[in-house]
Each structure stands twice: as structure tokens, then as C-alpha cells.
Amino acid sequence: MFGVMILAVNGFIPAPYSDFLIVFQSLFLALSYFVVGRGGATYVGVVSGVLITAVKISFFPYDLVFSIMFGALVDLTCAAFHPTEDGRARASRMVVNMTLSTGIVGFVAYYFTAVMTNEVPNDVGLDLTILIFGMVSGAIGGAVAARLWNRNLMGRFYNR
């Protein structure tokens, strides 16, 4: 479900403008970690990557690789920083997790597609704007996911 929602928001907008909507992808990846647990964000990253690749075949394998990388980084940072305690989300830690994940994936994606392969235009001003906006969006996505989890979803999905 989260993979389809990521496709609906980001899948039909051309790069690099779809990167301005990374807040939704970070929100759904964070929620997938809370709902499924370890591996949830990676699973959603694989599903969304496959779906987006089917829509944007010209960017194969970039969308697939970066979606999987984003999901895996969310799972790795969550394993490192433990954003949950007794089932409750710790918003500050989830904000850090999502900011790191979006920053790392954004930098790697920019470097690979704009500098190494010239697949997208290499405009430093636009690229810095997307990178900064992406990190802020990741922080917002993490904060909103933690709030949604604590207020609405924890009682439904958390097994004590």
C-alpha cells in the first residue's frame, strides 16, 4: 500500500522536480518501519522502486536502486538510533533518521545522475535547493510519521 502511494505521488512527475515531493516518500518509509518493523522500509523501497521503474523506464535502474537504497538506509538508521521505545515513537530520533537517510540518498543520487552520468541537468543552484529541501522534507516526514504512529496507528499495529 505504501509503495503504491509513493508511486501515486512521485511516479508521474519528471526528475528532478519529483525530488521536491520526497516528503511523502520519507513519510511512507518511516511509517512502514513503524508498522512492519525491521525490513519494512526496505520492502516498501523495493515495491515503490519497481512500480516507479515501470512508469519511468528511461530512468532504469536509477529509480529502482535509489528507492531500495532509501528504504535500506531508513532501516539501517532506525536499527542504529532506535526510534521506538516500548512501542512509542521517539520523534526526535525519527527526525534524525529520516534527515540522514534523505541527505545520503539525495547526495548519492545527485552525484551519480548529474555528475557521473549527466542523466539530469547539472545545475548547482537547483541541486543544492533539492538537497536542502530533501533533508528538510525528510525531517518533516519523520516527525509526521512519529506523530501519526503515536496518536493513531500504535494502538492498531503494536503488539505488546
Q: What is the CA radius of gyration of the chain?
A: 15
User: Is the pLDDT reported for residue 121 higher than 90?
Assistant: no
Nearest residue to 101 (alpha-carbon basis) of 7, 30, 37: 30
For the chain, the maximum distance between any two Cα atoms, rounded to a whole number of angstroms, is 50
Tens of pLDDT, residues 81-120: 999 999 999 999 999 999 999 999 988 988 888 788 877 7
What value does the mean pLDDT take over residues 53-58?
Answer: 91
Backbone phi and psi for residue 89, each to the nearest 5 degrees, phi listed first: -80, 135
What are the sequence ranges of the domains in the chain?
2-9+20-157
Average pLDDT, the chain: 91
pLDDT surpassing 60 at residue 160 = no
Confidence (pTM): 0.92
Q: Top-level CATH class of 2-9+20-157?
A: mainly alpha
